[in-house]
Amino acid sequence: MNAKLTARDRMARLLSVIPWVTQHEGAAIDEIERRFDYPRDLLLLDLQEVVFFVGVHPFTPDQLIEVDISDDKVWIRYADWFARPLRLSPEEAAKLLTTARAALQLTDGDDPPDPLTRALTKLGTVLGAQADQAIDVRLGEARAEIIDVIRQAIDRRIRVAIDYYSYGRDEVSHREVDPVRVFSDQGNWYLDAWCHTVGAQRMFRVDRIIGAEAGETPVDESRQAQPASFIAAPGDPRVLLRLDATAKWVTEQYPCESVSHGPDGTLDVRLVVTEIPWLERLLLRLGPAAEITEADPPVSPDLIGAAARRILALYDA
Amino acid sequence: MSKLERLLNLTAALLDSAVPLTAEQIQRRVTGYPPERSAFRRMFERDKADLREMNVPLTIAPDPDTDPPVDGYLINRSEYVGADVRFEPDELAALHLATNLVRLDGAERGLVKLGGGAADDESQIGLIPFDDLLATLVSAAAGQRAVRFTYSDAERTVEPWRLSFAKGHWYLSGWDRLREDDRLYRVDRLDGPIRDVGKAEHPVTNTSDPGSLRGWELGDSDPVAAVVKIDPDHAAWAHHVFGGVEPSPDGSFVARVQVRNIEAFRSAVITFLDHAEIVSPPAIRDDMVRWLEAQS
C-alpha cells in the first residue's frame, strides 16, 4: 500500500489503532506501523497532534483521550468511545473471505492450515449463516499435478520437459524449459520459463501443457531470468480490425495495442498477430461482427474465405 | 483543526450520546465546525458522507426532547462494533499469508483494519478480479437475502446462492423467482444497482457447478445433445475443451456435449479449424455450415 493516506484512510486506521493500543499498553511503534500499515512519521504525527486532542463536550481533561509516547512505545487511555474497533463492512469481509478461500486452494495437499480455517469461520459470522456456501474460487483449470511438478521444479531449480499445445500454431510440441515462475491471472495459470527448444524466454498457458516431467538436469543458472511478457516486438505483424459493439469481448480477452471507439458503436482495435491460424479462428468466430481494415504486412484478402472452405470440406459428405 | 480530528470528534460525540444529537447540537458540541450556518451545513454533509463511506452506522432519529420533533443523529454502539469478531494472532498471520499469495483488490484494507498488516505483492501468484457489486452479491448469498438487478436487459429477482470464480469469470447461481428455476448468471453481464428486496425463501437446491460448465452450457434454451468428431492429434486439447473425448473405430475421437447456447458451441468447434466437425444434430451442423458459407 502506498504512503499517501487521505484523511479518511487515516481515520479508518485510527479507529482500529486506538482500541488495539488501549488493550496493548506500551505497544511498540514499529508493531503498530506494521500491523496497521501506518507510515511511522504519519502515525506519530496523528497520535500527538490529532488523537491527543480528540474528545467530547465539554473537552475537559477527563473528556479527552490521553496519549503517551516514550521510548518508541505508546499508551492510549480514556478512549472509551473507541474501546472496540469499527466493524468490518460486508465488502471487506467478502473480499478477505474470497482471498482466504483461494489461498486455501493453493495450499491444498500441504498441512491443513487450521488457523486459516478458523479465520474463515470468523469472517463468515460477519457475513451471515450461509457464508461457507457463498463463495467458490478456482484459480485456473490447469491440472493440479502439472502445477505441482512445476512448483517443485522451481523450488529444486531443475529443468522440466513439457508437451505443449500451441494454440497459435495449432500443434503439440515437446520442449525443455527452465521454469522461473508459475502464477494464475484472470482464471488461467501461466508458466514463465526459459525455453531451451526455442532459445528464448516464453510464457506458457499451464492448461495447454499436456504432460510435464521433471528430470535431474539443473536449470541454467548463467541465464539471467527476466520477466517475460506478452509485449510484442516492433516487427511483429499487426492487423487493424473493425468490430461491432457485440464483439467488444475481444478487447477483454486479447491484449489490444490500441482501441478506438467509432460514433456508431463500432471499435477499431489493433492486434499483434504472431500466428495466422490464431487470426483465422478469431475472425471465423466473429463472422460478420469483424473485418480487417488494415494489415501490416498485408494478409491474403481470401484468408478467411479459404479457412472457411477448408472447414466446409469436412461437411461435404 | 484538521478534518481528521473533526471526524474523530464527531464519531466520539455520536458514540458517547445516548440520545440523537441534532445538527445544531453537533455544531455547538463538536469542535472544528465553523459558526456560520451554511458553511457548517456543507461541512457536516461531507462528514456524514465520509462516515457512511467508511461503514460507520450513522442513523437518523427524532430527538425525544424536541417538540415538534427535530431529527438528530446517532451511532448505535452495538451496531458500530457489529459481530465484534476477535482474531487470534495465528489467524491474522494466516490471513496475511493468504493476501501474500492471492491478489484481490481491496482485500488488504480489511486485513489492515484487523491489524494483520499489508500484503507483500512480490509473492502473489494468484490474481482474482473483484468489485463492490460482487461483494454485495456475496453478502446477499451469505445473509440469505433476495436481490433485484438487470441481466440481458431484463429485470431479474434472484435469491443468490453462490458466487463462483471459474475460468476467469465470476458466476452467480441462485433461484430466479420469475422463472421459478435455478439459474446461472455471468456477473460481468449483470447491471447494478443491486437492490435488496427482502428475505430469501426458496431452499438451496442448486448443484450446478460453473467450474465444470462450458460456455455452450450457459443459456436459457433446453439442452440438445451434440456430437463432435476430432482429429487424433487434437484429442488431448479436445479433451480439455470438451471435458472428455472417446476414441472411435475410424481412428478419430468424438466428444459428446449438451448444448444450450449454439453460438458458444460453434465458437468452440471453430477453434479446432479443420480438425473438428459437428456430426449431429442436423440443426446445429447446418447452423455451422451456414455460418461458414457466409464467410467463404
In the predicted model, is pLDDT for residue A108 greater than 70?
A: no
Tell me how close the Cα of B205 comes to any Cα of chain A, in angstroms: 12
B164 — contact with chain A (CB < 8 Å)?
Answer: yes
Q: Cα(B135)–Cα(B187) distance, rounded to whole angstroms? A: 11
A302 — contact with chain B (CB < 8 Å)?
Answer: no
Residues of B numbered 171-200 whose beta carbons fall under 8 angstroms of chain A's beta carbons: which are they?
none
Verify whether the Cβ–Cβ distance A284 to B295 is below 8 Å. Answer: yes
pLDDT confidence tier of residue A2, bands split at 50, 70 and 90:
very low
pLDDT of residue B191: 86
Verify whether the Cβ–Cβ distance A133 to B90 is below 8 Å. Answer: no
How many of the other CB atoms lie within 10 Å of CB of A251? 14
Q: Which long-range contacts (CB under 8 A, 24 or more apart) does B70-76 make?
A: B70/B22, B71/B20, B71/B22, B72/B19, B72/B20, B72/B21, B72/B22, B72/B23, B72/B25, B73/B14, B73/B20, B73/B21, B73/B22, B73/B23, B73/B26, B73/B48, B74/B14, B74/B17, B74/B19, B74/B20, B74/B21, B75/B11, B75/B14, B75/B15
**What mean pLDDT value characterizes chain A?**
86
Report the interhelical angle of B132-142 vs A90-106 (nearest 10°).
90
pLDDT of residue B230: 93
Cα–Cα distance list, B36 to A114, A244, B24, B30, B254 (Å): 57, 56, 11, 14, 80
pLDDT of residue B182: 83
Q: Cα(A268)–Cα(A294) distance, rounded to whole angstroms? A: 10
Closest partner residue to B289 (CB to CB) among A93, A107, A312 is A312
pLDDT of residue A142: 73
Q: Cα(A186)–Cα(A222) distance, rounded to whole angstroms? A: 32
Would you give the distance in Å from CA A124 to the centre of its chain? Answer: 23
B113 — contact with chain A (CB < 8 Å)?
Answer: yes
Verify whether the Cβ–Cβ distance B108 to A312 is below 8 Å. Answer: no
Tell me how close the Cα of B50 comes to any Cα of chain A, in angstroms: 7
A183 — contact with chain B (CB < 8 Å)?
Answer: yes
A11 — contact with chain B (CB < 8 Å)?
Answer: yes
- CATH code for the structural domain at B3-81: 1.10.10
pLDDT of residue A224: 57
Q: Cα(A140)–Cα(A120) distance, rounded to whole angstroms? A: 22
Q: What is the ipTM of this complex?
A: 0.78
Q: Which of A24-33, A124-133, B203-212, B267-276 has the lowest mean pLDDT?
A: B203-212
pLDDT of residue B9: 96
> Which candidate, A92, A162, A211, places its Cα nearest to that of B236?
A211
Instruction: Specify the domain boundaries for CATH 2.30.30 within chain A.
Output: 144-218
Each residue's pLDDT, cut to its tens digit, for chain B (296 residues) gives: 789 999 999 999 999 999 999 999 999 999 999 999 999 999 999 999 999 999 999 999 988 888 888 899 999 999 999 988 999 999 999 999 889 888 888 898 999 999 999 888 777 778 888 988 899 999 999 999 999 999 878 899 999 999 998 877 899 999 999 888 888 888 988 988 999 999 999 888 765 666 666 778 877 677 899 999 999 888 877 887 888 889 999 999 999 999 988 888 999 999 899 999 999 999 999 999 999 999 88
- CATH code for the structural domain at B217-293: 3.30.70
Give which of A8, A9, A57, A283 to mutate to test B binding, by max B Cβ within 10 Å.
Answer: A57
pLDDT of residue A234: 64
* Mean pLDDT to the nearest integer, A81-107: 90
Instruction: Specify the domain boundaries for CATH 3.30.70 within chain A.
Output: 238-315
* Mean pLDDT to the nearest integer, A142-165: 86
B40 — contact with chain A (CB < 8 Å)?
Answer: no
pLDDT confidence tier of residue A1, bands split at 50, 70 and 90:
very low
B8 — contact with chain A (CB < 8 Å)?
Answer: yes
> Which tens digits make up the pLDDT trace of A204-245?
888 888 889 998 888 887 765 555 445 456 677 889 999 998
Angle at B222 between CA B220 and CA B227, to 5 degrees: 120
pLDDT of residue B207: 57
Q: Cα(A61)–Cα(A53) distance, rounded to whole angstroms? A: 10
Verify whether the Cβ–Cβ distance B113 to A12 is below 8 Å. Answer: yes
* CB < 8 Å to A96, chain B: 95, 99, 107, 110-111
B244 — contact with chain A (CB < 8 Å)?
Answer: no
pLDDT of residue A180: 86
pLDDT of residue A226: 55
At the top level of CATH, the class of A144-218 is mainly beta
Residues of A numbered 64-83 whose beta carbons fall under 8 angstroms of chain B's beta carbons: which are they?
81-82
Tell me how close the Cα of B142 comes to any Cα of chain A, in angstroms: 4
Verify whether the Cβ–Cβ distance B165 to A207 is below 8 Å. Answer: no
Architecture of the A238-315 domain:
2-Layer Sandwich (3.30)
Decide whether B3-81 matches B217-293 in CATH topology: no
In the predicted model, is pLDDT for residue A109 greater than 60?
A: no
Closest partner residue to B296 (CB to CB) among A1, A104, A308 is A308
pLDDT confidence tier of residue A178, bands split at 50, 70 and 90:
very high
B39 — contact with chain A (CB < 8 Å)?
Answer: no
